[in-house]
Structure 1
Amino acid sequence: STRLMLHAKAQDTILSLAAEAGSVEDLELEDVMKISYKDIRCVESGGPEPGVGCAGRGVITSINFLEEEGAYDDIDYVSYDVLDDVVCGGFAMPIRENKAQEIYIVMS
């Protein structure tokens, strides 16, 4: 979802980098964040292989990492691009943990 913002460059995900490093605690914010047009901060969470694991757990792991590393400091808005065809309730985890003040659903 960040590829267009980064001029077609692919971005490594938090979960893939954490798997390579050993754990998410072994990562630094600079490892996962790219700066794009108009200084927009771009991060890709990543997720499990299709049909394996819970993508919502990856999302909450990524959000917690970003909070701990100060990624949300000094910003006005945060936008998440989330799949709409998930079969589990895992994407509700960030909502249950009060990670969002408002939620907008956009369909096309």
Structure 2
Amino acid sequence: VMKIGYKDIRCVESGGPEPGVGCAGRGVITSINFLEENGAYEDIDYVSYDVLGDVVCGGFAMPIREDKAQEIYIVMSGEMMAI
């Protein structure tokens, strides 16, 4: 699901696997590939992802390994929602 909002900001919710089943990191790279294939990254300046940081499979390194990111910033806080 992609919605275009204020100042043409594109917002996407991709969901993930059922809790305890599958690898959330694999879901991230699958979502990125799907968005690429469907033109979601055309004519944009920045992309920001808000992903869980508490996965045990290490799958969130996949976008880095597959050269999908040029820079990565980690935002943390003591709050339940960092961003």
TM over 0.5: yes
Match of 2:58 among 81, 89, 94: 89
SS of the equivalent of 1:42 reads strand
Bigger helix fraction: 1
1:4-33 CA-partner distances (Å, limit 9, x unpaired): xxxxxxxxxxxxxxxxxxxxxxxxxxxx21
Match of 1:49 among 11, 18, 21: 18
State how far apart, in whole Å, the 2-side matches of 1:92 and 1:101 are: 13
4+ residue runs of structure 1 moved beyond 6 angstroms?
none
State how far apart, in whole Å, the 2-side matches of 1:81 and 1:97 are: 18
Which one is further off, 72-81 or 44-53? 44-53
Residue 72 of structure 1 deviates from its aligned partner by: 0.5
State how far apart, in whole Å, the 2-side matches of 1:50 and 1:75 are: 32
Q: Structure 2: which 5+ residue stretches go unaligned? A: 78-83
Name the TM-score, length of structure 2 as normaliser.
Answer: 0.87
Residue 59 of structure 1 deviates from its aligned partner by: 0.8
- Equivalent pairs: percent with the same residue? 94
State how far apart, in whole Å, the 1-side matches of 2:2 and 2:14 are: 10
Residue 93 of structure 1 deviates from its aligned partner by: 0.8
Q: Structure 1: which 5+ residue stretches go unaligned? A: 1-31
CA-based RMSD: 0.9
